[in-house]
Amino acid sequence: MYQYIKGLLVDLTSEAVVVETAGLAYYIYFPNPYRLSDQKGQRVQVWLYQAVSQDAIRLYGFFDQAEKQLFLQLISVSGIGPKSALSILAYGDQAGFIAAIESENVKFLTKFPGVGKKTAQQIILDLQSKLSRLKSEALPADQEVIADQSESSQMMVELEAALNSLGYAKREIDQVIKKGDFSEVDNTADAIRVALRYITLK
């Protein structure tokens, strides 16, 4: 099993990077390869996962070890293979993805390529119990806070949609979100209750 490869980045395609080392060039499937465009012609380090199937042996590469760890968690989910996991990583919102699992936000998860409602539900079922590990392994330390912030922002978006469906004007909704006390709220249902209480008492 490979851990990583160090070599010359000789080419990029829409799906992969080509890294040359010791006279061999490796075609490595990579989430959003164009992230490495400015390093073409330079030495790079790419973290690796080798997938062996009946018809092929493929290498999947990652920008850093944190991205690889999230990939490994994703392919542990029933129904998600390496290609699907790579598509999710290519979207580039790891913090939002983890926050959506934590808040059981199926709708948010279905925005990722190849993730339908059933797959989103399976992701939540399989990974929610591994959230602590996901945050510590799949996110750099400085992004764990971002995941929490992303969850909070997501909750506010859902709150705004709920108040809008109840007939409140945008100006009134904006005022509630700006001035309401949501510091101890950890889900959308409670946020709606706090918002309605604020509207009633103001």
The CA-atom distances, in angstroms, between 72 and each of 21, 57, 67, 68, 161 are 25, 17, 9, 6, 34
Mean pLDDT computed over 57-84: 91
Q: Is 60 left (phi over 0), alpha (psi -120 to 50) or beta?
A: beta
- Residue 138: which pLDDT band, with cuts at 50, 70 and 90? low
pTM for the full model? 0.65
Place of tokens 């790579």: 86
- Separation of CA 27 from chain center: 24
- Residue 90: which pLDDT band, with cuts at 50, 70 and 90? confident
Q: Where are the beta strands (DSSP E) in the chain?
A: 4-12, 16-21, 24-29, 43-52, 57-62
118-136 confidence digits (pLDDT tens): 999 999 999 988 877 776 6
Q: What is the mean pLDDT of the chain?
A: 84
- Residue 12: which pLDDT band, with cuts at 50, 70 and 90? very high
- The interaxial angle of helices 94-102 and 117-127, nearest 10 deg, is 80
Dist CA 124 CA 99 (whole Å): 11
97-118 confidence digits (pLDDT tens): 888 888 888 988 888 878 899 9
Dist CA 84 CA 3 (whole Å): 21
Among candidate residues 60, 58, 56, the one with its CA nearest the CA of residue 32: 60
DSSP state of 37: G
pLDDT score of 145 more than 60: no
